[in-house]
């Protein structure tokens, strides 16, 4: 996220009063963000560096590097991040190149298919992959029958990397495609003119120019991968940092320093990656410096179009397997040690839609509340950043961006520590004992999306439209209500939808923060169902609900964003 602070001529009338409403608003928002984001983070940090008697110590951090299990987890975490980026690039970059620079029948279909992996939450995908590629999944059963051998595709780290690669590569694809589309075609033509063509042209000209955009996509993928708690838990592989932090807190308890130290390491990794991606994007300006015209995409037909489709199918095919797997599983009564389910049923849907309805309703309630709060906060913060005049409002941007680099586990641990044993005023019990904590966590984690989309929407709005309203007698609040907000509506809604769908499938902090099982949302429900063999059917049915929810939301958000100026929603 790159939000330059635009300085504007002051708003007259403000500043002459001792306290003005804008200053109060900035202060209130700063307090809220400090309490919801900064304070829990500081809690985690302070425990990690606090000595037994209170003073500052690095002893715990040093001790981290002496523990073989932790060291292994750190290396594994780095490995999953790097490998997911590497393999994700091998899938995403060719697809980006294929779709940006070539035109062929069915390209739009291909582009849509390319986004589908994002629609299935990674931990749901993990279950589906188990069913298809796991030890007793479809593929291995077939291999066993035919060749008498199996492939350990879903075992340990391999499984985690496989699932994450196939879930996250669209981030790399989308960012690379945007960067490629932004390369000045005259640079490419100049290179062709000098005799470079084909792969040499790609390697020597296009790749370096598209590199910053690609790097940003790769780094955001890295952040998400190391933050992902659901996938390793589903695959029962815990030698990674996020699951280790989770296990520490849930088994040893909130007083265990090691859990906090792991959290700090996670934050450091994320911050480094986020900083790297911002730096990379800063470099991208020279590539798009002077754009003269759109590149004419190369038309492919006949054999070459077929080749394009075959390449795309080979790259995309595996990523679309889990959709099929989860769909089959949701309708299966018995699917064990056989290629396909042996007994089909509607009972799984009956279970989640009519008997245990809490998961779905909880999800809708939490995610809607969080998204609504995010829309309001995002609009207010964007307005203050672009139209405000009070000093210190730049900090709103800084703090609201931080959740991008705070893993869900870390935020959850921070909340647990922060609210532990403190009866929240008006509730009579700690905030962490109520479902409100989930809404708070979702709202804070997804705030960057709405701030970003609101900012983009407001930035495109000519200032004169608001001044005209003031000129005709509308004060700043009325102007916001009658002109600014309606004109930002599409962008705001698009950001809100993204906040909604990503909250609806959030698991990293949910799993730590759910006070009681009946308060759990859909993602938690899937996790709980999947723990037992009989629960896999209903779990898969919930997974299908999640896919439908995310799919519709994404589609709608993109339609809104295309006309509302929210920019591409899956780019940094």
By beta-carbon proximity to other proteins, the closer residue of 459 and 568 is 459
By beta-carbon proximity to other proteins, the closer residue of 355 and 482 is 482
Cα separation, 260 vs 374, in Å, equals: 28
Cα separation, 171 vs 85, in Å, equals: 10
Cα separation, 34 vs 116, in Å, equals: 36
Exactly one of 203, 298, 299, 482 binds other proteins (CB under 8 A); that residue is 482
Task: Point out which span in 8-16, 276-284, 443-451, 524-532 binds other proteins (CB under 8 A).
Answer: 8-16
Exactly one of 303, 343, 472, 533 binds other proteins (CB under 8 A); that residue is 472
Residue 65: Cβ within 10 Å count: 11
DSSP 232: H
CB of 483 vs other proteins, minimal distance in Å: 6
How many residues comprise the chain? Answer: 572
Site for other proteins in 40-69 (CB under 8 A): none
By beta-carbon proximity to other proteins, the closer residue of 341 and 564 is 564
Task: Point out which span in 9-17, 254-262, 308-316, 540-548 binds other proteins (CB under 8 A).
Answer: 9-17
Rounded to the nearest 5°, which phi and psi values hold at 344? -100, 155
Cα separation, 467 vs 21, in Å, equals: 19
CB of 68 vs other proteins, minimal distance in Å: 60
CB of 467 vs other proteins, minimal distance in Å: 5
User: In 3-state terms, what secondary structure has residue 109?
Assistant: helix
Site for other proteins in 404-463 (CB under 8 A): 462
By beta-carbon proximity to other proteins, the closer residue of 79 and 474 is 474
CB of 486 vs other proteins, minimal distance in Å: 5
Exactly one of 2, 5, 10, 422 binds other proteins (CB under 8 A); that residue is 10
Exactly one of 204, 299, 478, 563 binds other proteins (CB under 8 A); that residue is 478
Cα separation, 139 vs 153, in Å, equals: 10
CB 434 within 8 A of CB 515: yes
Residue 27: Cβ within 10 Å count: 14
The encoded tokens of residue 373 equal: 């709060």
The encoded tokens of residue 167 equal: 């879930």
Site for other proteins in 340-399 (CB under 8 A): none
CB of 489 vs other proteins, minimal distance in Å: 8
By beta-carbon proximity to other proteins, the closer residue of 342 and 475 is 475
CB 457 within 8 A of CB 379: no
CB 544 within 8 A of CB 327: yes
CB of 464 vs other proteins, minimal distance in Å: 4
Rounded to the nearest 5°, which phi and psi values hold at 212? -60, -45
| Alpha-carbon distance values, 270 to 37, 175, 365, 392 (Å) | 15, 19, 30, 26
CB of 170 vs other proteins, minimal distance in Å: 33
563 counts as binding other proteins under rule CB under 8 A: no
Q: Which residues pair with 344 in a beta bridge?
A: 332
Exactly one of 486, 531, 548, 563 binds other proteins (CB under 8 A); that residue is 486
By beta-carbon proximity to other proteins, the closer residue of 284 and 484 is 484
CB of 379 vs other proteins, minimal distance in Å: 16
By beta-carbon proximity to other proteins, the closer residue of 7 and 66 is 7
Task: Point out which span in 150-158, 352-360, 483-491, 503-511 binds other proteins (CB under 8 A).
Answer: 483-491
CB 190 within 8 A of CB 204: no
203 counts as binding other proteins under rule CB under 8 A: no
CB of 465 vs other proteins, minimal distance in Å: 5
Residue with tokens 């470099």: 283
CB of 22 vs other proteins, minimal distance in Å: 12
By beta-carbon proximity to other proteins, the closer residue of 338 and 471 is 471
Can you say whether residue 350 is alpha, beta or left, with left for phi > 0 and alpha for psi between -120 and 50 degrees? alpha
CB 544 within 8 A of CB 447: no
Rounded to the nearest 5°, which phi and psi values hold at 103? -120, 130
What kind and span of H or E run contains 344?
strand 343-344
Exactly one of 279, 475, 531, 552 binds other proteins (CB under 8 A); that residue is 475
468 counts as binding other proteins under rule CB under 8 A: yes
User: Strand (E) positions, 74-186?
Assistant: 102-103
Question: Taking Cα atoms as reference points, which of 80, 358, 113 lies closest to residue 231?
Answer: 80
CB of 474 vs other proteins, minimal distance in Å: 5
CB of 498 vs other proteins, minimal distance in Å: 23
Cα separation, 125 vs 117, in Å, equals: 9
Exactly one of 4, 16, 56, 354 binds other proteins (CB under 8 A); that residue is 16
Count residues near other proteins (CB under 8 A): 24
Binding site for other proteins (CB under 8 A): 9-10, 12-13, 16, 462, 464-465, 467-476, 478-479, 482-483, 486-487
């Amino acid at each position: 996220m790159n939000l330059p602070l635009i300085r504007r001529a002051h708003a007259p009338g403000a500043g002459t009063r001792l306290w003005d409403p804008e200053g109060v608003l900035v202060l209130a928002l700063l307090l809220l963000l400090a309490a919801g984001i900064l304070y829990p983070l500081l809690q985690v940090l302070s425990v990690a560096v606090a000595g037994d008697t209170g003073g500052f110590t690095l002893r715990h951090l040093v001790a981290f590097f002496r523990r073989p299990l932790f060291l292994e987890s750190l290396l594994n975490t780095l490995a999953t991040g790097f490998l997911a980026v590497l393999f994700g690039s091998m899938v995403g970059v060719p697809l980006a190149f294929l779709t940006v620079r070539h035109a062929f029948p069915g390209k739009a279909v291909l582009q849509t298919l390319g986004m589908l992996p994002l629609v299935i939450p990674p931990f749901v995908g993990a279950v589906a992959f188990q069913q298809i590629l796991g030890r007793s999944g479809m593929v291995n059963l077939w291999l066993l029958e035919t060749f008498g051998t199996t492939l350990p595709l879903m075992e340990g780290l391999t499984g985690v990397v496989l699932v994450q690669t196939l879930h996250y590569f669209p981030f790399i694809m989308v960012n690379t495609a945007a960067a490629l589309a932004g390369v000045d075609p005259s640079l490419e033509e100049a290179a062709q003119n000098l005799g470079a063509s084909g792969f040499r042209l790609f390697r020597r000209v296009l790749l370096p120019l598209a590199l910053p955009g690609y790097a940003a996509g790769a780094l955001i993928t890295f952040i998400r991968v190391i933050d992902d708690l659901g996938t390793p838990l589903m695959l029962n592989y815990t030698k990674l940092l996020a699951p280790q932090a989770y296990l520490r807190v849930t088994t040893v308890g909130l007083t265990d320093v090691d859990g906090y130290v792991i959290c700090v390491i996670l934050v450091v990794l994320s911050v480094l990656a986020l900083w790297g991606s911002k730096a990379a994007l800063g470099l991208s300006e020279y590539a798009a410096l002077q754009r003269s015209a759109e590149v004419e995409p190369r038309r492919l037909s006949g054999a070459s179009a077929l080749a394009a489709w075959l390449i795309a199918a080979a790259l995309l095919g595996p990523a679309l397997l889990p959709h099929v797997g989860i769909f089959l599983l949701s309708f299966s009564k018995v699917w064990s040690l056989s290629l396909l389910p042996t007994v089909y049923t509607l009972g799984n849907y009956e279970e989640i839609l009519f008997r245990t309805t809490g998961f779905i309703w909880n999800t809708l309630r939490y995610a809607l509340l969080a998204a609504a709060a995010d829309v309001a906060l995002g609009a207010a913060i964007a307005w203050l950043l672009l139209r405000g005049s009070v000093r210190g409002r730049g900090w709103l941007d800084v703090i609201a961006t931080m959740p991008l680099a705070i893993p869900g586990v870390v935020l959850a641990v921070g909340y647990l520590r922060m609210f532990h044993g403190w009866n929240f005023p008006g509730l009579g019990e700690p905030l962490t004992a109520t479902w409100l904590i989930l809404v708070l966590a979702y709202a804070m984690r997804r705030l960057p999306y709405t701030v970003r989309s609101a900012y983009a929407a407001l930035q495109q709005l000519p200032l004169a439209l608001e001044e005209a309203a003031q000129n005709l007698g509308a004060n700043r609040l009325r102007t916001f209500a009658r002109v600014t907000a309606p004109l930002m509506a599409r962008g705001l809604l698009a950001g809100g939808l993204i906040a909604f769908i990503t909250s609806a499938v959030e698991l990293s902090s949910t799993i730590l923060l759910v006070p009681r099982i009946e308060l759990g949302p859909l993602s938690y429900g899937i996790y709980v169902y999947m723990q037992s063999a009989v629960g896999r059917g209903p779990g898969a049915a919930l997974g299908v609900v999640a896919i439908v929810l995310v799919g519709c939301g994404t589609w709608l958000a993109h339609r809104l964003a295309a006309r509302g100026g929210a920019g591409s929603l899956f780019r940094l």
